[in-house]
Amino acid sequence: MVENCSAFIRQGQSTLYTLTRVCQRSGAGAMRRAERAQFDGFHRLQPDDVPLPFIFSGSTQSNAHGIVGRLESMELPSVGAKSVLVKLLAAPINPSDINMIQGSYAILPDLPAVGGNEGVGQILEVGSQVKALRPGDWVIPRDAGLGTWRTAAVLAENDVISLPNDIPLFSAATLGVNPCTAFRMLSDFEELKPGDTVIQNAANSGVGQAVIQIAAARGIQTINVVRDRPDLTQLIDRLKAMGASHVIKEETLRRHEMKELFKTCRRPKLALNGVGGKSATELLRHLQVGGSMVTYGGMAKQPVTVPVSALIFKNVTVKGFWVTQWKRTHSQDEGALRGMLDELCSLIRQGKLTAPACSEVGLQDFRKALDTAMQPFTSAKQVLVL
């Protein structure tokens, strides 16, 4: 029995949302029944509102809203010959998830669409022509837009890829986006060797933490830039425990301390930018001649400005990276994705790559989870345990 399958669904051009709860009885020809909560109005949530399984605190408009809905029935599709029934186990709330629901992400799934780009599930049933998967396997999405904020789904076999189930649940749930992004950026843009240096902003992000750990496993030093905050000392200690070579504040990038720092390590070959704006410009200034800056995010929502001197006198290279595009480009190369996942899972087993700090959230606490996920200086990733 698969029970309480809740999904957050975006419906309509910009303002209609749907929320789904699914129940399924296993077995051929069994009846599949579901309840769906359809959003057709907006108002700020009040303490006496009736709780629903999952409500998104936001909209596709520029202003934020609370959303309420109504329940209605739906059916879960039967398992076809080339499809699988997946019980979702855990799914994080990432910034890209919220951007997609708001309609501001680079890709938007066909409507209606379930929220959530990342997560891990377990195969419960496979179709007669499914060869690579079997009941009990853990799987994660191959691509963005699959819709992981639900407790069960019938998916095409090629929509998911298997993972070993001997790694921690949260490591599996958060493996498909941030660690893969970090892995590719450390592998594809510069030939980094032990002793080389990488500088990055947004070092406390999921990508940043993965960069620290993967780089440390390869003998690569990291200069990690973070924003000042009340718990800065604890944050520095935590990042250094992960393997960070140096942790500095944004303001330090513009100070004399950087010259002293470079007496203890090489100038960076590679800069990883997840912020944009002035922070990205300062990263560029510290690159060695011929170095590269790769932009994968823009939390500051400001453009990347490249100093003319960096282009002319340092011959720096400025590129962008989006792991979704990488996966699509390599969709016919099974070995590329499998090889990366195998290497990441090996690091996890060795204790060299851990999941970011996570807060386990049940569906009954959805409001708190979403509010927390959208706050600045969030210390833990919100993970829906389904």
- Sorted by where each begins, the domain ranges of the chain are 2-174+355-385, 178-324
Instruction: Domain 2-174+355-385: give its CATH architecture.
Output: Alpha-Beta Complex (3.90)
- Among the listed residues 105, 149, 170, 189, the single catalytic one is 105
State residue 364's pLDDT score: 64
Give yes or no for a contact between 302 and 328, defined as CB atoms under 8 angstroms apart: no
Strand 292-295's sheet: what is its strand order?
A: 246-249, 221-226, 197-200, 270-273, 292-295, 317-320
Q: Mean pLDDT check: name the lowest of 112-116, 251-255, 275-279.
A: 112-116
Q: What is the mean pLDDT of residues 325-352?
A: 97
State residue 203's pLDDT score: 97
What's the mean per-residue pLDDT of the chain? 82
Q: Tell me the residue length of the chain.
A: 386
Rounded to a whole number, what is the distance in angstroms from the first to the last CA of the chain? Answer: 14
State residue 71's pLDDT score: 28
How many angstroms from the chain centroid is the CA of residue 176?
Answer: 7
* Residue 361 φ/ψ, nearest 5 degrees: -125, 125
Q: Mean pLDDT check: name the lowest of 11-15, 54-58, 133-137, 142-146.
A: 54-58
Q: What is the mean pLDDT of residues 342-365?
A: 91
Residue 98 to residues 36, 57, 176, 337, Cα–Cα distance (Å): 21, 9, 17, 25
State residue 115's pLDDT score: 79
Q: What is the mean pLDDT of residues 270-298?
A: 97
247 versus 96: which is more confidently predicted? 247
**Kind of pairing between the strands at 246-249 and 221-226:** parallel
pLDDT of residue 69 exceeding 60, the answer is no
Helical spans, DSSP H, in the chain: 95-102, 169-173, 178-188, 206-217, 232-242, 257-261, 277-285, 308-313, 323-329, 334-349, 366-373
- Give the list of residues 6+ apart from residue 167 with CB closer than 8 angstroms, or none: 345, 348, 349
- Give the list of residues 6+ apart from residue 311 with CB closer than 8 angstroms, or none: none
State residue 99's pLDDT score: 82
Q: How far apart, in whole angstroms, are the C-alpha atoms of residue 156 and residue 133?
A: 11
Q: How far apart, in whole angstroms, are the C-alpha atoms of residue 320 and residue 329?
A: 15
Could you read off the pLDDT of 210-223 as tens digits, one per residue?
999 999 999 999 99
pLDDT of residue 59 exceeding 90, the answer is no
State residue 1's pLDDT score: 43
314 versus 33: which is more confidently predicted? 314
State residue 172's pLDDT score: 98
At 70, the pLDDT band (50, 70, 90 cuts) reads very low
* Residue 189 φ/ψ, nearest 5 degrees: -115, -30
Q: How far apart, in whole angstroms, are the C-alpha atoms of residue 250 and residue 258?
A: 11
CB atoms near residue 247 (< 10 Å): 21
Residue 352 to residues 198, 212, 242, 285, Cα–Cα distance (Å): 18, 10, 8, 31
Residue written as tokens 């959003």? 39
DSSP 3-state percent helix, strand, coil across the chain (nearest 5): 30, 30, 45
Fold adopted by 178-324: Rossmann fold (3.40.50)
State residue 25's pLDDT score: 38
Q: What is the mean pLDDT of residues 132-146?
A: 96
Give yes or no for a contact between 59 and 102, defined as CB atoms under 8 angstroms apart: yes
Q: What is the mean pLDDT of residues 271-280?
A: 97
State residue 21's pLDDT score: 37
pLDDT of residue 241 exceeding 50, the answer is yes
CB atoms near residue 314 (< 10 Å): 16
Could you read off the pLDDT of 318-327 as tens digits, one per residue?
999 999 999 9
* Spatial CA neighbour of 102 closest among 377, 373, 381: 373
State residue 52's pLDDT score: 33
Percent of the chain residues past pLDDT 90, beyond the cut: 65
Give yes or no for a contact between 340 and 180, defined as CB atoms under 8 angstroms apart: yes
Could you read off the pLDDT of 161-213 as tens digits, one per residue?
999 999 999 999 999 999 999 999 999 999 999 999 999 999 999 999 999 99
State residue 18's pLDDT score: 36
Give yes or no for a contact between 115 and 8, defined as CB atoms under 8 angstroms apart: yes
pLDDT of residue 257 exceeding 90, the answer is yes
Q: Return the DSSP state at 269.
A: S
State residue 74's pLDDT score: 53
pLDDT of residue 2 exceeding 80, the answer is no
What is the residue type of 70?
R
Q: How far apart, in whole angstroms, are the C-alpha atoms of residue 243 and residue 352?
A: 9
Q: How far apart, in whole angstroms, are the C-alpha atoms of residue 133 and residue 310?
A: 50
Q: Identify whether 296 is a catalytic site residue.
A: no
Which residues does residue 92 pair with via DSSP β-bridges, in sequence order? 383
What is the reported pTM? 0.83
Could you read off the pLDDT of 71-121 as tens digits, one per residue?
234 577 899 999 999 999 999 999 888 888 777 888 887 777 777 899 999
